[in-house]
Structure 1
Amino acid sequence: MPYNRIKWLILSIPTITIALWEYVRHAFLLPYISMDLGNLLAPIIVLLVTVTLVRMLMGMLEKVHKSLQQERAVKAGLMEREQLARELHDGISQSLFLLSVKLDRLEQETAGGQAAETVTQLRSTVRHVYEDVRQSIASLRTEPAVADVQWIQAVKQMADDFARIGLPVQVDWRLPDAMLTNKEKVELLAIIREAMFNVQKHARASRMKVRAAAEDGGFRCSVVDDGIGANLTELGAKGRYGVRMMKDRASAMGWRLDIAPASGEDGMNGLAVEVTKEGSGR
């Protein structure tokens, strides 16, 4: 029901109730109810009807108001992310691309020797950072939409995207939509995406699996792969911005993030990135 209609109903219910009572009393009940008793019953009936209906309408009004606030928050977040993505694209992204072009030219001018090898390494580093920036821009522009679609569809779409680049993803999703707020959906999807990108870039994996399930009022979500694994000590080293980002996001939401060797189930012997939200009863 529209917001304005609910407000007008709340304002008009007492008037409508008293009008209906007076009509019924004079048309049908006058021979049975005295004038004094009718006058006494009128405010009681108005109060009972008004309290009953207005409580229902107030509940509806609060839901509509909350929904409007969420829409405004999502819209504001979308505008902020779009602005940040535009700044990244117009500033850092274009500067990195220009730097890459200049390094290509420098490599041609210094063909052979140690200088050329250094230029090649610099160019590889710049292109790697450029791809990371592009991924960040894509994330900024797509994450707010998670709240507008069914959660499982967003996860499966991401799995399909990785499958198209030759890295099959099995999705075992048993986490109901209702268990996650819009904010939790955005943050959890960002962690899953980063974990999957790390697998694609570093693990030399041929497949991976995304699992999630409700657990004691909370949830447990993991991304596992069949790749070469990694030195767990090195994952926290400087320059590991993807791992740091995942940990920061999980910490901000009050979740626990663990990175450990996979259990070997279903042939997954690489790494397992696991996010856990403890239930309120634990």
Structure 2
Amino acid sequence: MVNEEKLKVLMVECSEEDGDRILQILTRGGFQPDCLCVSTISALRDALLTRDWDVVLSDDLPQLTAQDVLNALKDQELDIPLIIVSSQIGEEAAGHIMASGAYDFMMKKNLARLVPAIRRSQHEAGNYQQFRITQSALQKSETLFQAITSNLPGVVFQFVLTTADNQTSFPYVSDASETLLGLIPRRLMDNPSLFPELILADDRESYYQLMMISAEQLSTWNWEGCIQVKGDSDIKWISLRATPRRVSNSVTIWDGIMINITRNKLAEREIARSREQLAELSSYLQKIKEQERARIAREIHDDIGGTLTAIKYELFPCMDTMPRKPEFYQQKMKSIESLVDRVIDSTRRISLDLRPGILDCGIVAAVQWQAKEFSDRTGITCKVSCENDEISLDSDLAIAIFRIFQETLTNISKHAHASRVQVKLLELDKLILLEVIDNGCGITHTDMEKRDSFGIRGMRERCQQLRGNFYISGDPEKGTKVTILIPTGDLEQQTGQVVSLKNKFKTPSYDKKSVSRSE
């Protein structure tokens, strides 16, 4: 027959006549049987190991019972349908074997059901095989899904809203809910109202409002707000993103994720705060710059300009044609020389204010000169400790360090109420360390965070522009310590060195021998 279906049959049979009759029935039923007959347990096991079979037809032989065949199939974990075709097995024994896993049972004298039973077994075996493939794929998919959700930085969830009775539920919540929300998944799924209870009162209304808008318009549900986990003093910023789908007129399901964005929010606030401080600092520096320009202009006008005007008036009588005694001109020359000396002194003083010439002698000499000038001006003892007589720096870096030192001394004179200052200037493997310790009242965190603390901000910004670090800390009634670390070589290569020395100089260490409040 052209449409004959191939059928691999393993037959447990000792009667050749019965075997031929079964094959004829299979052939007439539209099969093209490929049959192997066995009658011993060893032959059966070999056949099961060496080939794949569509069906096993077994008689209940004395040396190889149907139960033995069923056991052999189970031992090798084979899902081959077993149909018992017997002439002598009793109904009770057949029922027992059927209960143990045999597919069907029939007597040899009535094989009318054989072909339909085989076809039915093939169909069910195919369905079962497909079921196992689907189940395996589902298990792999679930394993992959669990692996993904367990490594996501947030809570993956499914959320359901029934608008008819305004009921909500969480059919699925990933394990990360315990970390983010302080709720194990099962507890949240059993009691979905626990999540809104975590939301701060100010953000709860927007949560419900955006949820309803998403449900009505089937638009993405985007919400950001604050939660506070029970027993936790910290407040967390949560970002919720979910995509809705309508399953009925009154039921909407969202698939989404909740992520902790606290760090991002804190970073945004810090950036906004830094921008505000930079704007204030820029305005302050511009104001100082204009004030400095006005001061210089005033000094040039009042001092140098006035002196030059006086010189002009001294020269004016010398330019007429009236005859005068030599003593008159000698007196004018002395007066003009004195005025010129005054102009030279004023020019030198203004130049020193703009850029001290001592910087041309190196940063060590400049710091020592500034410390002496500070002591002479304020009466506060200021000692400088430096292991090297000279530290080679480019002019821009030297000026920056000098200006930071100047600003530090200015702050000490204004606020510290100190009697002694200890300065340390060191070169540490292409790093410059400047440390200034006073024995004053000690700066507080509140002082450092004041909106008008432009001096500290300016020093910090100047250090950051040079890829360095600026630290300031105080101890009440003991003093204040200012430390800067700035790389002198390749900035990229030195950044790691700056960080490695961070902890070493971050905590104030007051040398009571060198910095004492008593004179």
Greater per-residue helix proportion: 1
Q: TM-score range by the shorter chain?
A: 0.3 to 0.5
Please report the TM-score for the alignment, with normalisation by the length of structure 1.
0.47
Q: Which structure is higher in RCO with an 8 Å CA cutoff and minimum separation 6?
A: 1
Greater per-residue strand proportion: 2
**Which has the greater radius of gyration?**
2
Please report the TM-score for the alignment, with normalisation by the length of structure 2.
0.27
